[in-house]
Structure 1
């Protein structure tokens, strides 16, 4: 099996997680990661990176549970190790609050986070517009530190990194035996997937070192996530909106909503504003197919379309992708290149 050339397209949290998993699990493969943008210019870099999940409609729940648990356990081990500061991975405790109790008061991921419980009436007193809440400790993973850390880990496992824009899979067919597509929103053009669409997210970083607990409104639009150097406040979920410019109206709305939940934020200094497009899809695509490229059947493993849950599910779906690459290796020896 020596000398199988694998290429991973995409340098966000999905691409680098997948590349690391393949390079470490399959030392017989020579793994190259290609992307036109790297940290700090990826969508992942602006993500708040806090771990919990929403349910995808058509993915078996058992698979979603595994994705979440594998990702959580992986990041928890980093958070509890000497790598925590460099990797930007830390424990974070706080509340998710709702105007009325959701149908699922104990979501599927509640058993994997730490100390999940329903909020007491006394805790809810500070949120008079909200009638129900969940308290738990989860993980915050700051991709502006985590991606460079993963890249280092990938290179240490023998991986190679190259900056280039991949316009179509044909460009890769002569050099690689297996293609792994982690191109996120780029999959719309790269593999013609019309099911991928942008969901615009705008966030601010503010200076508020006195805040220690996260607060997230259950509707997913308003949140306050303290991090290592600043607090991320947001946000927006604008489906089909491809604007990358900061919108002053959104900034005002974010600050007003967050100050309602946490009045002390009225005193916080805004450090930066950021916009990113979540690569959304009804369900993430984690599967393989054989594609005809220049007269040759080339196995392609897809891992994209995680929407706003990329950081949450990256390691779990990366492990699935490794399993798919392994299947490709067992089924078909690579064709000799003449």
Structure 2
């Protein structure tokens, strides 16, 4: 299957961080790009994300690490302009999950060894000292990584897309075939919507609840999250407040914050930073991570003949892998222009 080598009309379905990043990469490569999204960027799951650049709940691990390293490089460069891009470089601790954070589904070491390449790639990453870890945690890492203010970053991506000639259209896409009738290539970044749109029953939500509080002076991030835990601990200082988390509940569809869960989230954060116990609550939020057994990043032909590049199923690592996945989308489009056929997956 080939597409014309001239000005290619691209339709990107989905306006979260995956869709916008893919759209920027394509537009800056010279394509005519239109993002179609039911929701404004600020209303997507991406806007609820804590924004730490670190692989979390995403497979396959080997590809996820490659994508994450690429995104780390891009976000670190964007962190030189934090007010414009929403990205900052912040030091923090990734602690081995304590017994209370592991949950029934935790398996010791699940996924940890697979991230060895990530540990090797992060500049300055080192083992945490005993005095840098909370009680009950035997090991962890200290690192300076990108921490992204997601609402600000999504606005930046939209501005960057517009500057490259792309557009954003607010409407619901009822089928990929419909999108393909109005575009040379469709890029499917519909996240959780892919469950019905593709349809792909492997796509399911992993519910995440967070509490945002006034910052009592916390400058470092902190995370303790078991690989299969339904409850995690993270403290992420953002310009608008401290994001406290969280939960990771498989197949939970509710977007309503649970007051009891919120209380437990604050209590876990306060065990690490006692000053959080009295911090004023600014907001409660719930997002549904678009999980899948493995990210789907592949090309197929839609009814009607248009090629579709699927890019969905990123779980809790959307911002962490967005630029690496966007590179693969761009390579897929270039391959199509060179005449190779679609690749299923």
Q: What is the TM-score of this pair, normalised by structure 2?
A: 0.89
Q: Which residue of 2 aligns with 1:123?
A: 132
Q: 1:300 aligns with which of 286, 308, 314?
A: 308
Q: How does 1:225-244 map to 2 (within 5 A)?
A: 225-244=236-255
Q: Which residue of 1 aligns with 2:54?
A: 52
In 2, the alpha carbon distance for the partners of 1:114 and 1:209 equals 29
Q: How does 1:1-338 map to 2 (within 5 A)?
A: 1-25=5-29, 27=30, 29-54=31-56, 56=58, 58=60, 61=62, 63-80=63-80, 83-98=81-96, 99=98, 102=109, 104=112, 107-124=116-133, 127-219=134-226, 221-292=232-303, 296-331=304-339
Task: Supply the RMSD in Å over aligned alpha carbons.
Answer: 1.9
| TM-aligned CA deviation for residue 243 of structure 1 | 0.2
Q: Which has the higher contact order (CA 8 A, sep 6+)?
A: 2
Matched position secondary structure for 1:111: helix
| TM-aligned CA deviation for residue 64 of structure 1 | 2.8
Q: Which residue of 2 aligns with 1:336?
A: none
Residues 301-335 of structure 1, C-alpha deviations (whole Å, 9 max, x = no match):
000100000010001001101111111222289xx
In 1, the alpha carbon distance for the partners of 2:22 and 2:224 equals 31
Structure 1 gap ranges (5+): 334-338
| TM-aligned CA deviation for residue 142 of structure 1 | 1.4
Structure 2 gap ranges (5+): 100-107
Residues 243-267 of structure 1, C-alpha deviations (whole Å, 9 max, x = no match):
0111111111101111112111112
In 2, the alpha carbon distance for the partners of 1:228 and 1:110 equals 27
In 1, the alpha carbon distance for the partners of 2:213 and 2:23 equals 33
Q: What is the TM-score of this pair, normalised by structure 1?
A: 0.90
Aligned positions, number = 322
